[in-house]
């Protein structure tokens, strides 16, 4: 079979590799110049850094498997860098049970309730009992209103803003249940994984086309036909689309209107990061800082070089200031200099003494469709993988559920899609 794959992120590349290994002729078409999608890197000094902060968990067994399979295991680094919260104008460590038992944000009785609630969520084996429940209703019953307001509401608000109250409990359960305290990182950047996937696919006879955007998907005479922005037309027996459902619907005019209305795909937020390259450490000992104080203009501060050594990046200390926001939010229209001006006073509130002169380099990245909004009606809007267009399959990171989207789950879904495509009878027999 000739199988076309739209999107050279984790999902598309995993599917392409498994199909190529099964002897199919694959052609990956990726709009950006590099493979990797939302996990793509860019050059900082001698190495590559993700445009958006990335790490993996011990439980991310699929990505660990791919890293091994592609011979990159020696670069996989594990550690337990500190997570903290900035609340009421101070940094409070959430690093482990001793920190949580001393947590100044909560009275002692609530600290115990928080830890007991965490243990219960870890012990609940699946999400089935949470059907129809929002985290905003379920969590106060488990841990009490005060624990919810101080510890959980800011997490949900940080990621989902005005939609925080509508987020499914199954999503929050999965975040607690499935994540490890130990974090992993591919030293030298996750870009290496995506480049290695591309090379392996090519070595198996597959083709990878980057910097080319699919513009139209049609079916004709039992084939799937893809028009791309260079004017070329590709013919496939099967096509796997890994783009967000709303983009797929725009590219495929022959999709029945009832299908498009019935399965619009979930709403998404976009992601925005400003990355500071500093000549010194910003916050000693803290890797991940949740920002609970509502008047600060970013939701997370991630000091990457408190996990990886700054020497890997030519001595720069790298700090992400991140946001998830509606895609029409004014921040997405601001220049890098405007954003830096707007964010710098808040960095100085977190780290008194911070001076703009410490910033030796900076970068800004934006991505639409970066975070599906997982409400209790989420599953209703998800289209099936087999679309009404013969031979056309759809799978994207919104199909990852109930887990928060991540490289691990996109890789896993890519493998599943390869199986699905291989199992389907060919139209010719
Ligand atoms: C801020 C942020 C932080 C994150 N942190 C982590 C983390 O710590 N750990 C983790 O594992 N994951 C993290 N993720 C999630 C992770 O990046 C994604 O889950 C994963 O990369 C999704 O892969 P995908 O292939 O499903 O989708 P995508 O990466 O979105 O791939 C889709 C691809 O389709 C391409 N495309 C779009 N339109 C077209 C077109 N018309 N023609 C051709 N190609 C097209 C896109 O360019 C893209 O490459 C984070 C994401 C964000 C935004």
Mean pLDDT score across all residues of the chain: 95
Please name which of 281, 304, 294, 301 lies closest in space to residue 353, comparing C-alpha atoms: 281
Contact by Cβ (8 Å): 400, 413:
yes
Nearest-CA residue for atom 34 of ligand 1: 7
Nearest-CA residue for atom 53 of ligand 1: 370
Please name which of 183, 181, 118 lies closest in space to residue 151, comparing C-alpha atoms: 118
Q: Dig out the tokens for 68 from the structure.
A: 């091994």
Stretch 79-100: mean pLDDT, rounded? 92
Q: In the predicted model, is pLDDT for residue 427 greater than 60?
A: no
pLDDT top residue among 173 and 427:
173
Q: Please report the pLDDT score of residue 229 as a whole number.
A: 98
Q: In the predicted model, is pLDDT for residue 428 greater than 50?
A: no
Q: Please report the pLDDT score of residue 180 as a whole number.
A: 85
Nearest-CA residue for atom 26 of ligand 1: 397
> Beta 183-186 vs 56-57: how paired, if at all?
antiparallel
Stretch 350-368: mean pLDDT, rounded? 97
Q: Please report the pLDDT score of residue 426 as a whole number.
A: 62
Only one residue has tokens 């890519």, namely 414
Q: Please report the pLDDT score of residue 429 as a whole number.
A: 35
| 288 Cα: distance to centroid of ligand 1 (angstroms) | 21
Q: In the predicted model, is pLDDT for residue 187 greater than 60?
A: yes
Q: Please report the pLDDT score of residue 219 as a whole number.
A: 94
Lowest-confidence pick of 8-12, 111-115, 193-197: 111-115
Ordered by where they begin, the domains of the chain are 2-38+190-266+383-423 (3.50.50.60), 96-178 (no CATH), 183-187+268-372 (3.90.660.20)
Q: Please report the pLDDT score of residue 149 as a whole number.
A: 93
Answer yes or no: is the C-beta of 30 below 6 A from any ligand 1 atom.
Answer: yes
Q: In the predicted model, is pLDDT for residue 319 greater than 60?
A: yes
Contact by Cβ (8 Å): 402, 374:
yes
Tell me the backbone φ, ψ of residue 42, rounded to 5 degrees.
-140, 165
Q: Which of 14, 38, 270, 405 to mutate to test the pocket of ligand 1 (most atoms within 8 A of CB)?
A: 38
Q: Please report the pLDDT score of residue 101 as a whole number.
A: 87
| 385 Cα: distance to centroid of ligand 1 (angstroms) | 18
Stretch 325-337: mean pLDDT, rounded? 96
- pLDDT tens for 369-410 read 999 999 999 999 999 999 999 999 999 999 999 999 999 999
Answer whether 0.85 is exceeded by the pTM: yes
Please name which of 259, 264, 250, 262 lies closest in space to residue 387, comparing C-alpha atoms: 259
User: CB burial class (10 A; 0-12, 13-18, 19+) of residue 257?
Assistant: exposed
Answer yes or no: is the C-beta of 323 below 6 A from any ligand 1 atom.
Answer: no
Q: How confident is the model at residue 366 (pLDDT cuts 50, 70, 90)?
A: very high
Q: How far is CA 269 from CA 56, 77, 100, 151, 366, in A?
A: 21, 30, 31, 22, 11
Residues near 112 by Cβ (< 8 Å), separated by ≥ 6? none
């Amino acid at each position: 079979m000739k199988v076309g794959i739209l999107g050279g992120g984790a999902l598309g590349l995993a599917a392409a590799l498994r199909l190529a290994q099964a002897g199919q002729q694959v052609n990956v078409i990726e709009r950006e110049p590099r493979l990797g999608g939302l996990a793509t890197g860019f050059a900082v000094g001698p190495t590559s850094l993700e445009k958006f902060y990335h790490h993996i968990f011990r439980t991310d067994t699929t990505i660990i498997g791919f890293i091994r399979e592609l011979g990159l295991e020696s670069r996989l680094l594990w550690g337990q860098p500190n997570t903290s919260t900035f609340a009421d104008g101070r940094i409070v460590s959430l690093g482990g049970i001793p920190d949580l038992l001393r947590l100044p944000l909560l009275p002692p009785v609530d600290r115990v309730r928080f830890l007991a609630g965490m243990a219960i969520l870890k012990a609940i084996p699946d999400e089935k009992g949470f059907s129809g429940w929002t985290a905003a209703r379920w969590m106060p019953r488990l841990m009490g209103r005060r624990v919810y307001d101080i510890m959980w509401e800011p997490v949900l608000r940080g990621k989902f803003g005005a939609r925080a109250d509508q987020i499914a409990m199954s999503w929050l359960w999965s975040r607690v249940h499935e994540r490890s305290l130990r974090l992993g990182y591919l030293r030298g950047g996750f870009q290496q994984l995506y480049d290695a996937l591309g090379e392996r696919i090519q070595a198996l006879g597959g083709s990878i086309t980057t910097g080319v955007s699919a513009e139209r998907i049609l079916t004709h005479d039992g084939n799937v036909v893809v028009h791309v922005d260079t004017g070329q037309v590709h013919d496939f027996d099967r096509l796997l689309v890994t783009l967000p459902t709303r983009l797929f619907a725009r590219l495929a005019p022959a999709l029945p209107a009832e299908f498009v209305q019935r399965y619009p795909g979930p709403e998404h937020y976009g992601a925005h990061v400003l990355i500071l390259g500093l000549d010194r450490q910003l916050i000693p000992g803290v890797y991940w800082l949740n920002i609970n104080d509502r008047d600060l203009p970013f939701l997370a501060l991630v000091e990457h070089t408190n996990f990886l050594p700054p020497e890997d990046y030519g001595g720069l200390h790298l700090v992400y200031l991140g946001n998830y926001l509606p895609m029409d939010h004014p921040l997405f229209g601001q220049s890098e200099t405007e954003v830096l001006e707007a964010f710098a006073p808040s960095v100085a509130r977190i780290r008194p003494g911070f001076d703009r002169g410490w910033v030796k380099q900076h970068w800004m990245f934006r991505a639409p469709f970066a975070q599906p909004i997982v409400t209790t009606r989420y599953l209703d809007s998800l289209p099936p993988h087999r679309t009404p267009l013969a031979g056309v399959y759809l799978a994207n990171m919104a199909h990852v559920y109930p887990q928060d989207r991540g490289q691990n789950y996109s890789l896993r879904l890519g493998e599943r899609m390869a199986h699905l495509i291989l199992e389907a009878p060919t139209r010719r027999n």
